[in-house]
Homo-oligomer: A and B are copies of this chain.
Amino acid sequence: MRLAVIGIGLMGGSLALTLKRKGFVSNVIGVDNNTQHQAEALALGLVDEIMTLEEAVKSSDIIAIATPVNIAEKLLPTILDLVDQQVVFDVGSTKESIVQIANSHSKNGRFVPTHPMWGTEFSGPSAAQQDAFLEKATVICNADKVDADALQKVEALYKALGMHIVNMDAIKHDIHVAYVSHISHITSFALANTVLEKEKESDAIFELASGGFESTVRLAKSNAAMWVPIFMQNKENVLDVLNEHISQLRKFKACLEKENFEYLSELIENANGIKRILK
């Protein structure tokens, strides 16, 4: 099977590496408008060759769109125009608007909207990992509108990566990821800005920062080109969660200001409930 990867960064590169290592694909064609990324992807062995978008679609069996979500939306109609029997899927973090775009195209049966729940805070071809995705969930949306053979191929691909599949409505997906992913990024970006703004002695940060700090700010290294379009597309849900998060933080603030340590203790014990969900 020949795989075309549109956008050879963290996600596209990791897909390419891992699927090739597993023997699921024999050949990987890369498409990227960044010539430095093209060269890196070839040098790192993520892809076997670089082609234009049109050549790549024509020369492959399965096409992964792994660009930022705004670019994926722009490219999808063009790619579907070019497609015959090929299967197309994306890996974007928002699903409602790309599903709408797909469903207004006559060849929407060839496109499987997906979101593998894996990533790191790093980006570009050099961030690709060959043991990515394992034991994580992949969301597939719009399965009832997708051709049976296309769905089957994409499901087989994710199973080859060791992932399990969760079928979900696109609107519901976007609400859930606002909670379990997008808000974590905003709070991490804001925390980094807080520390960078107020803590002028960066030596002190470097010396004293322990695992806890690193853990809460590591997502702040994430790439703006990827995240701004996600926040744009999932604006309403992210705002809902962000408003709630700010009001939760204000409760901590009020407890400290009023020295209400009993309620502070209750807030912390309530937060401990996350143990039920995350082991």
Contacts and interface: CB of A to CB of B under 8 A. Distances in A.
A173 to B, nearest CB: 8
14 contacts: A117-B210, A120-B211, A176-B199, A180-B199, A180-B208, A180-B210, A184-B215, A190-B252, A196-B270, A197-B248, A205-B277, A224-B268, A228-B265, A246-B249
Interface string A169-203: 00000001101110111111111111111110110
A180 B195 contact: yes
Given A217-B184, A245-B191, A207 B240 contact: no
B136 A210 contact: yes
Interface size class of A (residues with CB under 8 A): 35 or more
Interface string A233-253: 001001111111110111111
A221 interface: yes
A124 to B, nearest CB: 13
Interface in A250-275: 250-253, 256-257, 259, 261, 264-265, 267-275
Given A180-B205, A277-B206, A272 B228 contact: no
A166 B217 contact: no
Given A191-B248, A193-B248, 19 more contacts: A118-B211, A179-B199, A179-B205, A183-B191, A186-B249, A188-B216, A190-B245, A192-B271, A192-B273, A193-B271, A196-B270, A198-B244, A212-B219, A217-B274, A221-B274, A223-B268, A242-B249, A245-B249, A246-B246
A119 interface: yes
Contacts of A272: 192, 220-224
A257 to B, nearest CB: 7
A213 B246 contact: no
Contacts of A184: 191, 212-213, 215-217
Interface string A27-57: 0000000000000000000000000000000
Interface in A42-83: none
A218 B215 contact: yes
Interface string A97-123: 000000000000000000001111100
Question: A231, A253, A271, A276: which has the most chain B beta carbons within 10 Å?
Answer: A271
Contacts of A202: 276-277
A46 B244 CA distance: 43
A24 interface: no
Contacts of A187: 187, 191, 216, 249
A257 B236 CA distance: 9
Contacts of A235: 256, 259
A23 to B, nearest CB: 26
